[in-house]
Amino acid sequence: MKAKKIKKPKIAKWGKNEKELNNEQEVFCECYVNGGRELMGNGVQSYIEAYQPDTTDKNWYKTACARASQLLSNIKLIKRINELIKEWGLNDQHVDKQLSFLISQYADNTNKLWAIKEYNRLKARVIEKGNEINLNVDLSGKNPKEIMERIKASLDK
């Protein structure tokens, strides 16, 4: 009996112009950056979506993991991913997606979480309770010394 030849998922060669990505590579990058909750930032799931590997193969998932790792170490793909992130821009929707991604992860993403909190604070998307200071001081026509005295007096109340 003839042994069944295992079809390996392939990483396609570059297009005619080496700067171009082939269709699968472009889909991989799009999924990795703009994919939904299960794809965004997930190389393996983005690979599976883009390359549609044969899931009947014995080690298909291990192969997908290895191929995703290869793609994410390819300078041309990293460059395209960075371009997509720039095109997408840093905005509320992006930050919300990143936060959603963080919530579903088990890794320590302290710095990323801090950056999201800082972004939300800068954009006044979150109102912190308990740290509010209301200064109702008339400062019109006052010199700097008088202004500082009035501010101090207001804070002491």
The verdict on 79 and 2 lying in the same domain is yes
User: What pLDDT was estimated at residue 121?
Assistant: 76
The verdict on 32 and 67 lying in the same domain is yes
In a domain, 58, yes or no: yes
d(CA 37, CA 32): 10
Structural contact between residues 9 and 64, judged by C-beta atoms closer than 8 angstroms: yes
Domain that holds residue 101: 90-127
d(CA 39, CA 52): 14
Encode pLDDT of 57-86 as tens digits: 999 999 999 999 999 999 999 899 888 877
The verdict on 74 and 1 lying in the same domain is yes
In a domain, 135, yes or no: no
The verdict on 97 and 75 lying in the same domain is no
- Domains of the chain: total: 2
133 three-class SS: coil
The verdict on 66 and 94 lying in the same domain is no
Structural domain ending residue among the three candidates 64, 88, 112: 88
Structural domain ending residue among the three candidates 37, 57, 88: 88
The verdict on 32 and 99 lying in the same domain is no
Encode pLDDT of 102-141 as tens digits: 766 667 777 777 777 777 777 777 776 665 555 565 666 6
